[in-house]
Amino acid sequence: MAEARPRTLFDKIWDHHVVETLPDGTALLYIDRHLVHEVTSPQAFEGLRVAGRPVRRPDATIAVVDHNIATDATRRTGITDPESRLQVETLEKNVVEFGVPYIPLLDARQGIVHVIGPEQGLSLPGMTIVCGDSHTSTHGALGALAFGIGTSEVEHVLATQTLLQKPAKNMRVTVDGTLPVGCTAKDIVLAIIGKIGTAGGTGHVIEFAGEAIRALDMAGRMTVCNMSIEAGARAGMVAPDETTFEYVKGKPYAPKGEAFERAVAWWRSLPTDPGAHFDKEVTLRAEDIVPMVSWGTSPEDVLPITSTVPNPSSFADEARQAQVQRMLDYMGLQAGQKLTDLKVDVVFIGSCTNSRIEDMRMAASIVRGRKVADGVRAMVVPGSGLVKQQAEAEGLDRVFQDAGFEWREAGCSMCLGMNPDKLTPGQRCASTSNRNFEGRQGPGGRTHLLSPAMAAAAALAGHLADVREWQPQ
Amino acid sequence: MKPFTNLTGIAAPLPKANVDTDQIIPARFLKTIQRSGLGRHLFANFRFREDGSENPDFVLNQEPYRNAEILVAFENFGCGSSREHAPWALLDFGIRCVIAPDFADIFHNNSFKNGILPVKLPREVCEKLMEDARMGGNARLTVDLERKVVVRPNGEEIPFEVDAFRRHCLLNGLDDIGQTLEHKDSIDSYEARQRSSQPWLYA
Ligand code: SF4
Mean of pLDDT over chain A = 96
- Confidence check: pLDDT of A3 > 80: no
CA distance A222 to A152: 26
Read off the pLDDT band of B178 (50, 70, 90). confident
Question: Which residues are A449's β-sheet partners?
Answer: A431
Of B20, B82, B202, the CB nearest to A149: B82
The residue-averaged pLDDT of A126-139 equals 97
Residue A2 has pLDDT above 70, yes or no: no
Q: Cβ B180–A164 below 8 Å, yes or no? A: yes
Nearest of B64, B57, B56, B51 to residue B134 by alpha carbon: B64
Q: Which residues of B touch A69 (CB under 8 A)?
A: none
- Note whether A305 and A196 are within 8 A (CB): no
Using the Cβ of A38 and the Cβ atoms of chain B, whether some distance falls under 8 Å is answered with: no
For chain B, count helices (H), then strands (E): 8, 8
Q: What are the tens digits of pLDDT across the range A301-327?
A: 999 999 999 999 999 888 899 999 999
**B19-74 pLDDT tens trace:** 999 999 998 898 888 888 899 999 999 999 989 999 999 999 999 999 999 999 99
Q: How far is the CA of B63 from the centre of ligand 1 (A)?
A: 37
Which atom number of ligand 1 is nearest to the Cα of residue A114? 5
Sign of the alpha-carbon dihedral angle for A98, A102, A105, A106: positive
Q: What is the mean pLDDT of residues A130-139?
A: 97
Q: Considering chain A, what percentage of its residues have pLDDT values greater than 90?
A: 92
pLDDT for position A1: 45
pTM: 0.91
For position B2, what pLDDT does the model report?
81
Does residue A133 line the site of ligand 1, with CB under 6 A? yes
DSSP assignments along A389-444, one per residue: HHHHHTTHHHHHHHHT-EE--SS-GGGSTTSS--PPTT-EEEE-SS---TTTTSTT
Which runs of E-coded beta strand occur in A177-320? 204-209, 235-237, 280-285, 292-294, 302-304
Section A241-260 average pLDDT:
97
Quick check: A24 and B165 CB within 8 A?
Answer: yes
Question: Which neighbouring-strand residues pair with B159?
Answer: B149
> Could you tell me which chain B residue has the CA closest to the CA of A203?
B105
Tens of pLDDT, residue by residue over A399-441, are: 999 999 999 999 999 999 889 999 999 999 999 999 999 999 9
The tens digit of pLDDT for each residue in A38-72 reads 999 999 999 999 888 999 999 999 999 999 999 99
The CA distance from B90 to B39, in Å, is: 6
* Per-residue pLDDT reduced to its tens digit, A19-36: 999 888 899 999 999 999
Answer whether residue A446 shows pLDDT above 60: yes
Select the residue from A34, A164, A325 to test the B interface by mutation, using most B Cβ atoms within 10 A.
A164
* pLDDT tens-digit readout, A178-212: 999 999 999 999 999 999 999 999 999 999 999 99
pLDDT of residue A50: 82
The Cβ-side half-sphere exposure at B32, using a 13 Å CA radius, reads 20
What is the rounded distance in angstroms from the CA atom of residue B80 to the CA atom of residue B18?
9
